[in-house]
Amino acid sequence: MSQVLLIVGDATETVDTLYPYYRLIESGFQPVVAAPEKRRYQMVLHEVQPGWTITREWEGYSIEADVAFSEIDPADYLGIFFSGGRAPEYIRYDDDLVRVTRHFFEENKPIASVCHGVEIPAFAGCVRDRRMATVPKCRFDLEVCGGVFVDEPCVVDGNLISGRTYHDSGHFVGKWLALLEEARAAATG
């Protein structure tokens, strides 16, 4: 078992998505891009410019979804990654994504989240009493759903690894990959 889901939609953050995508390949996993439907999605670049108080957005690369949320049997996947950007704001309402999300939390599989990605497990009711990093503007989404906001580059809470933004990728993605390695060894051994 080496397939790992990466959750995206239009306006998913490019670096949030591509950094773990290529790290998965590098580590011998098969990234499977999942989205509301099987098609090409436009990613974006997000940055808070010096002197700005809000995020500026530019068009980034695009990415092809391998599978639609409705087609996912979560038992076929070792782990899941919730990418950031604006996509989580609207894809979190997808009933199939909620079903898939709950599976990974209930089965204690390796989960990673960055930036706005927290909005998906929060909406799915999976963050109660869980410690997570996210961007400060998503703190409310986490806390109103019972989660605990931590402003650090990597937060490990059991099977859940999180970071604030893509700037933290070098801190938290490796820890998530280590969990995936352990899960793969347990599944094959």
Q: What HEC string does 14-46 produce? A: HHHHHHHHHHHHHCCCEEEEEECCCCEEEEEEE
Across-strand partners of 80? Answer: 5, 111
- pLDDT attached to residue 52: 76
Tokens representing 79 are 């782990």
| Dist. CA 97–CA 72, nearest whole Å | 9
Domain boundaries, the chain: 3-188
**How big is the CA angle at 177 (ends 184 and 25), to the nearest 5 degrees?**
85
- CATH assignment, 3-188: 3.40.50.880
Residue 52, CA distances (Å) to 13, 14, 45, 47, 147 in order: 19, 21, 16, 10, 28
Residue with tokens 């990613």: 43
Tens of pLDDT, residue by residue, the chain (189 residues)? 799 999 999 999 999 999 999 999 999 999 999 999 999 999 998 877 788 777 777 788 999 999 999 999 999 999 999 999 999 999 999 999 999 999 999 999 999 999 999 999 999 999 999 999 999 999 999 999 999 999 999 999 999 999 999 999 999 999 999 999 999 999 987
Across-strand partners of 163? Answer: 114
Burial class (CB in 10 A: 0-12, 13-18, 19+), 60: buried
CB atoms within 10 A of CB 107: 10
Inter-residue contact 89 to 15 (CB < 8 Å) = no
Q: In what order do the strands lie in the sheet with 56-64?
A: 12-13, 40-47, 56-64
